[in-house]
Amino acid sequence: MTIPAKLARSLLHLCLFAGAPVALAVVPAQAADPSWFDPKLAEAAKKEATLVIYSSVNEEEGLPIWKKFEEQTGVRIEYVRGSDSQLIARMAIESRAGRPAWDLTLITAAHKLPPAMLAQIDPPEAQHLFPAARDPNRRWYGFSANYNVPAYNTNLVKAADLPQSYEELARRGEWAGRVVVNQYDSEWVVALLEHYGDSKGREILRSLGATLKPAIVDGHLAVARAVGNGEYAVALTNYVNLTMNVKLSGAPTDYWAIDPVGVFYMQVSASAQAPHPNAARLGANFILSKEGQSLLTARGRVPSRADVETNPPGVLKAMLAKKVVPISLDPEQEKKADAIFKELIAGRAR
């Protein structure tokens, strides 16, 4: 039995005076609060009792992470899962009705929301993020990085045979029909055009489409799984975290990084009309913290700060060794990039 320190001292004095032996349990030191835990803010958040999160991160991945926050704060989590488009539509409807129900959103498209919907916040843990993961206007912060790189099935392609540039990849005619890509990859298209210039970038994209004749699949995770189970030998491009997710499940797949590596971020934002504003600010600080980022890596997600190791190790180091092009597209830029992808990759223009 553990004895409170004050009582332990009294018993010790009594035993010393009485000459009787006594065995005292060691009183363990209380663990220090994690870096993201602001006691004053946590107290205010606990009074609000609830944190409502709208997230495109699936429940299997997201709920265990936020369970840690719940345990450490006593704030109950309400987790609403949906795609970016579904959640944005829901938030817009709530905003027009004057009845916003969410506190935090975790999606890739927070930067597309009207600025008036998003609170300007300053999570202390944001100082540790990569600069591209910090919105200059303080309305969103990147909590997980999506790096665009090719992937391959390690049973079907040898690492020594991997091309080391997109120009070389575009000459692999023997891979025609064995390559897959998502139905759109706007950020990847823009990264290539920024890196090579518009004219050469379009030429490379045209060659990739015409030579490799990639199959078009709906969903980046579906692409990762198709390569992992051997339906295709190569993914023209995909998010490295999804390749790692499939690899961690035991599938024979891996990525390889070639210039340029486009990156965009999953973003956390707080509602300007949050029902639980203190819980929202504390939750944002948690997911950006070293602890929150480390929990995110369990399924292969890539952190947005350099002091957290990836799972498996070395992924972030491999990305940063290449030419990384941060991408943040507004709706018009995305529409233009999608049209280029449709013409040159999906349409296989010659």
- Per-residue model confidence as pLDDT tens digits over 132-163: 999 999 999 999 999 999 999 999 999 999 99
By percentage, how much of the chain surpasses pLDDT 70? 90
pLDDT at 97: 93
By percentage, how much of the chain surpasses pLDDT 90? 89
Banded pLDDT at 32 (limits 50, 70, 90):
low
Banded pLDDT at 27 (limits 50, 70, 90):
very low
What is the pTM assigned to this prediction? 0.87
Banded pLDDT at 14 (limits 50, 70, 90):
very low
Read off the pLDDT of residues 195-237 as tens digits, 9 standing for 90 and up: 999 999 999 999 999 999 999 999 999 999 999 999 999 999 9
Q: Judge whether residue 336 has pLDDT over 80.
A: yes
Q: Which two tokens stand for residue 332?
A: 């018009």
pLDDT at 33: 79
Banded pLDDT at 246 (limits 50, 70, 90):
very high
Q: Judge whether residue 268 has pLDDT over 90.
A: yes
The sign of the dihedral angle between the CA atoms of 251, 257, 263, 269 is: positive
Task: Return d(Cα 224, Cα 234) in angstroms, integer.
Answer: 9
Contacts of 152 (CB under 8 A, 6+ apart): 162, 227, 233, 234, 235, 253, 254, 255, 256
The mean pLDDT of 84-110, rounded to a whole number, is 96
Task: Return d(Cα 75, Cα 286) in angstroms, integer.
Answer: 13
What residues form DSSP beta bridges with 325? 262
The backbone torsions φ and ψ at residue 82, rounded to the nearest 5 degrees and listed phi first, read -170, 170
Task: Return d(Cα 45, Cα 157) in angstroms, integer.
Answer: 52
Read off the pLDDT of residues 44-58 as tens digits, 9 standing for 90 and up: 999 999 999 999 999
Task: Return d(Cα 157, Cα 253) in angstroms, integer.
Answer: 10
Q: Which two tokens stand for residue 199?
A: 């004219």
What is the CB neighbour count within 10 angstroms for residue 82? Answer: 14
Q: Judge whether residue 23 has pLDDT over 80.
A: no
Pairing type for strands 141-153 and 253-255 reads: antiparallel
Read off the pLDDT of residues 291-328 as tens digits, 9 standing for 90 and up: 999 999 999 999 999 999 999 999 999 999 999 999 99
Q: Under a CB-based contact definition with an 8 Å cutoff, are residues 303 and 310 in contact? A: yes
pLDDT at 110: 96
Q: Which two tokens stand for residue 335?
A: 């529409």
pLDDT at 5: 39
